[in-house]
Amino acid sequence: MHKDLNFLNVPASKLPEYTEHDHKDFRGSFQWRVLRILSEFVSGFQFLADFNEQRTITFFGSARFTEENKWYKVARELGSLLAKKNFGVVTGGGPGIMEAGNRGCAEENGLSVGLNIQLPHEQRINPYARRGIGFHYFFSRKVMLVYSAQAYVYFPGGFGTLDEFFEIVTLIQTKKMSKKIPVICIGKEFWEPLFHWIESQVYGKFDAIDKEDMKIYHVVDTAKEAFEIIKKSPHIKYF
């Protein structure tokens, strides 16, 4: 981890909450924020460059799930399956699904990476992210989560998970990313109602997307199903 971004070792209670700086404070100026954004991109890409040759899969999902949760267990299993075949796991570095993915990977001595964010809640770095870096801005962190992956796996989650899912789908739909990159949604009970609405309303009633757009993503229920999709993807050199 870079020494200039060492808040990962600071307890969550000690991390600063977002504040609006006084207009006379240089930290609230537009120029300072631009420099801070630039520094996050430079540090982020430099961090990822250290394992650029490693095949990595990015996990998204709720930060609120405990280890007793069904989807935590599935994420942990998938992290383990991936590590056994020399895939690294990249997450947002927090608890819940992120912890589970990092945990399964770390338990198999795989490359377990956390790209954390400073938040008033749900901000602690999980203990299974063996390598990590912290971000102040969501958008710079999201760029790193997208850049670092050869496949994207989405578990049940909240607004953040949905935001990250629709961003990737939009990038593929608009041909800013390859359609060969696997986008896998795990948890049919969570995802199928959403995709039914997309099919019946967004596509069927309002004709706001093409039928082909609904083939961008896969919906499965188990870690093994997700792993098989990753394994068979022509985008990924498996062995």
Whether the pLDDT of residue 185 is over 60: the answer is yes
Predicted local confidence at residue 125, as pLDDT: 85
Please state the domain extents for the chain. 24-232
> pLDDT digits over 76-106, tens only?
999 999 999 999 999 999 999 999 999 999 9
Whether the pLDDT of residue 188 is over 90: the answer is yes
Please report how many Cα atoms fall inside a 13 Å half-sphere around the Cα of residue 52, on the Cβ side: 7
Contact 64, 96 (CB under 8 A): yes
Whether the pLDDT of residue 29 is over 90: the answer is no
Q: CA 136 to CA 75: how far, in whole Å?
A: 26
Whether the pLDDT of residue 66 is over 70: the answer is yes
pLDDT band of 2, cuts 50, 70, 90: very low
pLDDT band of 12, cuts 50, 70, 90: very low
**Nearest C-alpha neighbor of 110 from the set 126, 76, 87, 128:** 87
Contact 102, 87 (CB under 8 A): no
Predicted local confidence at residue 239, as pLDDT: 40
More confident position, 135 or 163: 163
Predicted local confidence at residue 147, as pLDDT: 87
Q: Which CATH architecture has domain 24-232?
A: 3-Layer(aba) Sandwich (3.40)
Predicted local confidence at residue 11, as pLDDT: 44
Predicted local confidence at residue 31, as pLDDT: 81
pTM as predicted: 0.83
Bridge partners, residue 133, by sequence: 115
Give the mean pLDDT of the chain. 86
Q: Letter for the amino acid at 10?
A: V
Give strand ranges (E) for 61-130.
88-91, 112-117
Contact 108, 123 (CB under 8 A): no
The answer to which of 10-14, 194-198, 215-219, 232-236 has the lowest mean pLDDT is: 10-14
Q: CA 5 to CA 131: how far, in whole Å?
A: 12
Mean pLDDT of 53-71: 94
Predicted local confidence at residue 17, as pLDDT: 54
